[in-house]
Structure 1
Amino acid sequence: MNNITKSEKWILEALLKIMTTKPYDKIKIKEIASLADLNTRTFYRHFKTKDDVLKLYGRQLSIELSNKILEKSPCFKTIILDYFEFLNEHIEFLNLLLKHNMLHFLYDNLDSFMTEVAFIVKPHLKNQDIDTKTLYQFYFNIGGFFYITTKWLKSNPRLSKEEMASIILDMFS
């Protein structure tokens, strides 16, 4: 995890651990800080709420996904494959959100997460200007990816990244 302090990392790890056994709405800041072996003052020095902890993690995931996409050619199929591979790498976190009926958290924060992605990806685009039409198309596609991701997460068994790429590419052909 890039650009986060040790305390923030410990707080995040503590929150995720508690989420495995306790409903999110019942988790108290004091128990997060205690499990992280910190005091509540340290928690509040870094975060206002436990949602802020998840937002930090979401931003870190956005940065990681952006960098993963930029490592390879920006072919749409490659992006889809990387996206679903990335989801598999973070399936425990996504399953926690699903368990707590919190997938909406991803959607509610999608705009800020995508801003992180755009900030990283934009310097690599040939055309630096993004017109209004392209922006709306981008958000339309992001919404579609969110709902496809939700369906994929809830499916048992889950389709492979190759199967998902095929389905998505078929929609655009």
Structure 2
Amino acid sequence: MKFTDIRYLRTEKLIFDAFAKLLSEKPYEKITVQDIADEAMINRATFYAHYADKDDLQQGIQKQVLQQMSDMIDAAQIATGERVKVKRAEKLLTEFYHGLERNSAISKIVLRSISQEVMQENFGRLMHEKYDHLLEKLNVTESGEQVPTEFIVAYLTSIFSGTLFWWIKSNFSMPAKELARLVLTLISNGHLTVMGVIIDRED
């Protein structure tokens, strides 16, 4: 890595940390670029070399988290046909949680500037992108009526986003590995099997 790359990444961290601290003190709407620059101890020109404005910063962080989520639920790694590899999914989810824990500033920005509803919608889109081949085969019925696929996606994504926001709010009170195991246990013990998804618990 070049020195300029290291310096760029160091400045990124200063901006993220400053933004996270400011979000703990006042609403997003009241934060200015000057506030972020002052808190990060950089000048405005340096900030603008990284982001067009605070909205661009927020969107950049959202994209970064979404990319991590996309990598985490990569269908090629955890699903084959109608079979889901739970142990592999647990490993990837643990890595995702560890990443958020290591970058706590990003996690706090997600918590304070992105609503749980938006996170759930974004995760739902990723579910469709990665698992449409699996979702379209689901045939869940209740009292003879078919349960809409969108309802199932909303239900699963609400579990993921709800527990994620709880974990960040609790200041990562539960170890990442334990959280991943618990979330997947809740989902796989009944929720996926009732949908006709085959659960593979082998390594």
Distance (whole Å) between structure 1 residues aligned to residue 186 and residue 128 of structure 2: 29
Residue deviations 1:37-84 (CA, integer Å, cap 9, x gap): 62777677x34xx24422321122212321233262222623344223
Sequence identity percentage = 11
Is residue 2:105 matched to residue 1:82? no
> Contact 1:66 / 1:117 at 8 angstroms: preserved in 2?
yes
Q: Which residue of 1 aligns with 2:119?
A: 110
> Contact 1:12 / 1:57 at 8 angstroms: preserved in 2?
no
> Contact 1:58 / 1:113 at 8 angstroms: preserved in 2?
no
Which of 58, 63, 67 is the equivalent residue of 2:67? Answer: 63
What is the total number of aligned residue pairs between the two structures? 160
Against the structure 1 CA distance between its residues 116 and 55, is the aligned structure 2 distance closer, same or farther, given a 3 Å change threshold?
Answer: farther
How much does 1:29 deviate? 0.9
How much does 1:16 deviate? 0.9
Q: Matches of residues 19-168 of structure 1 in structure 2 within 5 Å?
A: 19=19, 21-22=21-22, 23=25, 25=27, 27-32=31-36, 35=42, 38=45, 46-47=52-53, 50-70=54-74, 72-74=77-79, 75=84, 77=86, 78-94=88-104, 97-98=107-108, 102-103=111-112, 105-111=114-120, 113-114=122-123, 117-118=126-127, 120-121=129-130, 125-126=132-133, 129=136, 133-153=148-168, 154=170, 157-162=173-178, 164-166=180-182, 168=184
Distance (whole Å) between structure 1 residues aligned to residue 172 and residue 104 of structure 2: 14
Residue deviations 1:10-38 (CA, integer Å, cap 9, x gap): 98544313135443546421244572662
Distance (whole Å) between structure 1 residues aligned to residue 49 and residue 179 of structure 2: 45
Structure with bigger RCO (C-alpha 8 Å, 6+ apart) = 2
Against the structure 1 CA distance between its residues 119 and 54, is the aligned structure 2 distance closer, same or farther, given a 3 Å change threshold?
Answer: farther
Provide the aligned C-alpha RMSD in A: 4.1
Distance (whole Å) between structure 1 residues aligned to residue 180 and residue 166 of structure 2: 11
- Paired AA for residue 150 in structure 2: L
| Structure with the higher strand share, 1 or 2 | 2
Q: After alignment, is 16-25 or 80-89 more displaced?
A: 16-25
Against the structure 1 CA distance between its residues 19 and 137, is the aligned structure 2 distance closer, same or farther, given a 3 Å change threshold?
Answer: same
Against the structure 1 CA distance between its residues 116 and 38, is the aligned structure 2 distance closer, same or farther, given a 3 Å change threshold?
Answer: farther
| TM-score, normalised by the number of residues in structure 2 | 0.55
Distance (whole Å) between structure 2 residues aligned to residue 53 and residue 39 of structure 1: 13
Residue deviations 1:142-161 (CA, integer Å, cap 9, x gap): 11112222333316641342
Against the structure 1 CA distance between its residues 28 and 167, is the aligned structure 2 distance closer, same or farther, given a 3 Å change threshold?
Answer: closer
Against the structure 1 CA distance between its residues 87 and 33, is the aligned structure 2 distance closer, same or farther, given a 3 Å change threshold?
Answer: same
Structure 2 unaligned runs (5+)?
1-8, 139-146, 191-203
Distance (whole Å) between structure 2 residues aligned to residue 142 and residue 113 of structure 1: 9
